[in-house]
Chains A and B, each alone.
Chain A
């Protein structure tokens, strides 16, 4: 199984400041035949189901604010919130859908400093 490891486990950021979350996979999730990274990012607000923010590592889901962006390739990925808003308080998960069991990172909790 592909193991997904996020860092940090939690972070506190001031309103309007940048938040950066990292995700590392135990093997590459880049398919060379189509040059796509099979990686998604989800946001889970308290008491709510997860919602997709980013897929194919860097494609923003329709309706997601453009302060959210995804980058990276192969085994190393980043989710960036360029200017943290109060409604961004949540747990963020990366997930690979490259092969085998769908695996998630352990989650990163984002709070307001």
Chain B
């Protein structure tokens, strides 16, 4: 059974960075791209980017280019999303999602709160 377990909630100051982890189990980690999607309070779903855990190759949404970095550690089957230069409008729940064309599995979400 596939599980994606994310790290806990974070509170950050404006201008800081945050790094969220996503621990994968129940499947071969390097066989599926991992995507990151965020959801601001009361809002819809916004795609941020993906990482190929096999090659480390990435693709980022234009909106986040230069601020987001996706990485992985295959030895511990964990993907990471780091967002820098945080602003108040980055306050959101951040999800990792395993891609099998569509998003077959989702992490439980990590709330990142940015305060000034």
Contact = CB atoms under 8 A, between A and B. Distances in A.
A52 B35 contact: no
Interface in A22-73: 38, 40, 42, 49-52, 55-56, 61
Per DSSP, chain B at the interface is strand
Interface residues of B, number: 18
Contact of A55 (B46, B101, B106): B101
A6 to B, nearest CB: 9
A107 B47 contact: no
Interface of B: 35, 37, 44-47, 61-62, 95, 99, 101-104, 106-109
Given A61-B104, A95-B103, A102-B47, 16 more contacts: A40-B102, A42-B45, A50-B106, A52-B104, A55-B102, A93-B44, A95-B45, A95-B102, A97-B101, A97-B102, A101-B47, A101-B61, A101-B62, A104-B44, A104-B45, A104-B46
